Amino acid sequence: MLDVAYVGNHDVGLEILSDANQALPNALGQNLTLQQRRPIQNFAGIEVAFDGGFGSYNALQIKVEKRYSGGLYFINSFTWSKALDNGPGHLENYDGDNSRINYYNAGLEKGLSSYNQPLNETLALIYDLPFGAHRHFDFGGNRPLDFILGGWSVDVINTATSGLPLNVGYSPTSQAQISSLVSERPNLTGQPLYLNSSNPLAYLNAAAFGVPSYTQPFGNAPRNAARMPPFYELDPAIHKNFSITEGRYVQFRAEAFNLLNHTNFAPTLSLTANAAGFGVFNATFPARQVQLAMKLVF
């Protein structure tokens, strides 16, 4: 079965968060405190939910599914998509993104969604090996041979996706700060990713980001200006039921996760452009793991 679909969403008037008491920037030559620049100076940040959110999602989705009489079944799902919005939902701000947006210019926050993965490919395969009772090679009724070699099945899941976006910010001076809730972004002046580096863990290029003027604390860098490397993982398994009596059997499973031991970096790197250690990987997703399991079913 081949299934091809287009999926699209267009959203306006979404509820989104901000600071209703967001301060105005200092004018050139001014050095007023954050509190002195707030519209209501007797209050600090005032978190507010308002209908300033918008977004869109467009995707080509393809699914191929096939079952063979010889015991082989596979399903492959592929998505090519793009998701845009001006802020994530509350408690959904990942990898430097912030669900509190610029209260005075909601449109300035438009950028790639924090969940935007242009390419997403997943293959799942199940294969009943053709050895054993009631299969193509049944060992001629040889029960000991069938007990050892017959009835095995193999499962494979292969995943390949684009990396998730990374939202780069900076630590403003007190003169440039406009809110304790809203994040400010730097200027983007070059290639955000290292193309050639002697340090394989150095991923984001600090030289490509600059701190903007305190009079215009929001730089020209878009939301989610960078992206993690692609993610690859192959997870196979083999399993068999060993019959004891009618209705009773022992199930054995051997499973491997990330069998090829591919290095998939985790998005825990510093995303503050003017901080030490910016853009250097410091963690990975789990390396190869193998587990064996048995259970008695009765």
Our measurement of the distance from residue 218's CA atom to the centroid of its chain's CA atoms, rounded to an integer in Å, reads 25
What's the whole-model pTM score? Answer: 0.87
pLDDT of 24 > 80? The answer is yes
User: 197 pLDDT band (50/70/90 cuts)?
Assistant: low
Helix (H) or strand (E) holding 149: helix 143-149
What does the pLDDT look like over 71-83, one tens digit per residue? 999 999 999 999 9
* 128-151 confidence digits (pLDDT tens): 999 887 787 887 778 788 777 888
pLDDT tens track for 44-90? 999 999 999 999 999 999 999 999 988 999 999 999 999 999 999 88
What pLDDT is stored for residue 115 in this prediction?
A: 93
| Contact (CB, 8 A) for 83 and 112 | yes
Q: Rounded mean pLDDT of 191-210?
A: 86
Please state the domain extents for the chain: 2-297
Asked if the model's pLDDT at residue 119 lies above 70, the reply is yes
DSSP label at 169? B
Rounded mean pLDDT, 143-164 = 90
Whether 249 shows a pLDDT value over 70: the answer reads: yes
Looking at residue 196, what is its pLDDT?
Answer: 66
Nearest to 183 by CA among 271, 53, 85, 269: 271
